[in-house]
Amino acid sequence: MKKLILILLVLPAVSFAQGTNVINQKGRRFIPAEVTIRQGQSLTVTNNDEFIHQIYSEGLFDSAERRPGQNIVEDFPRSGTFEVRCHIHPKMKLIVHVN
């Protein structure tokens, strides 16, 4: 029983330490619309929509278009607050806080 509790306590830390967070593109929105990550972590943006999407953040990245079911993985190498958008659907907005 003690081993099981220890494993359960360690798992969230391991998952967080891996440095990947998943954002969904669905209904022409980012879900969630705001996220906080640590410097050096990556975001995986999954297109779960019926439309082609892409993502960009001024001065950081500008991805290629992705079809439904495809992923985009982008790193956030510096701290700050970044706005991520889709060129195809400019009303889509994700706020990324990087500590």
Give this prediction's pTM. 0.78
- Could you tell me the residue ranges of all domains in the chain? 19-98
Angle 85-29-24 from CA coordinates, rounded to 5°: 90
Residue pLDDT, tens place only, 36-76: 999 999 999 999 999 999 999 999 999 999 999 999 999 99
> Mean per-residue pLDDT for 2-20?
42
- Spell 33-63 as b/e; 16+ CB within 10 A means b: eebebeeebebebbbebeeebbbebeebeeb
pLDDT given at position 20: 64
Please give the CATH superfamily to which domain 19-98 belongs.
Cupredoxins -  blue copper proteins (2.60.40.420)
Distance CA 32, CA 3 (A): 34
The answer, yes or no, to whether residue 16 has pLDDT greater than 70, is no
Both tokens assigned to 1: 């029983």
- Between 76 and 1, where is the model more confident? 76
The answer, yes or no, to whether residue 10 has pLDDT greater than 70, is no
